[in-house]
């Protein structure tokens, strides 16, 4: 049985997939096709938001960066799972605007759905 946190993570993932596609990036797989590490990362981000509802977008991003680094990832110009590189491992204020918009979308979805957690 899927937990409420997993359900929120799935909604976030699918919305972000649609967001990226609206901007011409079709690389994100559906939730059901996504690798386990990717689903877990989204679940962890949802958990962070639920535990820190007043956190700024930059704090949410920094928590994501810390999680990535703790799992062996590092900055790289391209996202490469095998090499463990990701172009968003950087300070929030250095992110491209589209990534900041994606973060706002994520936080908005979690905030809108958090009442279903109870």
pLDDT at 11: 98
Integer Cα distance of 41 and 38 in angstroms: 5
| Full domain range(s) for residue 57 | 4-113
Judged against a pLDDT cut of 80, whether residue 8 lies above it is answered with: yes
Query: Is 118 contained in some domain?
Result: no
117 — pLDDT class (breaks 50, 70, 90): low
Judged against a pLDDT cut of 60, whether residue 115 lies above it is answered with: yes
Residue in 115, 88, 117, 116 with CA at minimum distance from that of residue 103: 88
Half-sphere exposure of 71 (CA within 13 A, CB side): 18
Number of domains in the chain: 1
Q: By percentage, how much of the chain surpasses pLDDT 90?
A: 93
pLDDT digits (tens, 9 = 90+) for 10-59: 999 999 999 999 999 999 999 999 999 999 999 999 999 999 999 999 99
């Amino acid at each position: 049985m899927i937990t409420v946190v997993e359900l929120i993570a799935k909604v976030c993932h699918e919305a972000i997939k649609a967001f990226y596609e609206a901007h011409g990036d079709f690389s994100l797989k559906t939730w059901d096709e996504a690798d386990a590490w990717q689903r877990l990362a989204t679940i962890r981000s949802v958990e962070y938001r639920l535990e820190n509802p007043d956190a700024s977008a930059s704090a949410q991003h920094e928590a994501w960066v810390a999680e990535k680094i703790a799992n062996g990832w590092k900055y790289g110009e391209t996202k490469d799972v095998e090499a463990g590189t990701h172009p968003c491992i950087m300070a929030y204020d250095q992110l491209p605007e589209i990534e900041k918009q994606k973060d706002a979308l994520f936080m908005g979805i979690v905030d809108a759905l958090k009442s279903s957690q109870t």
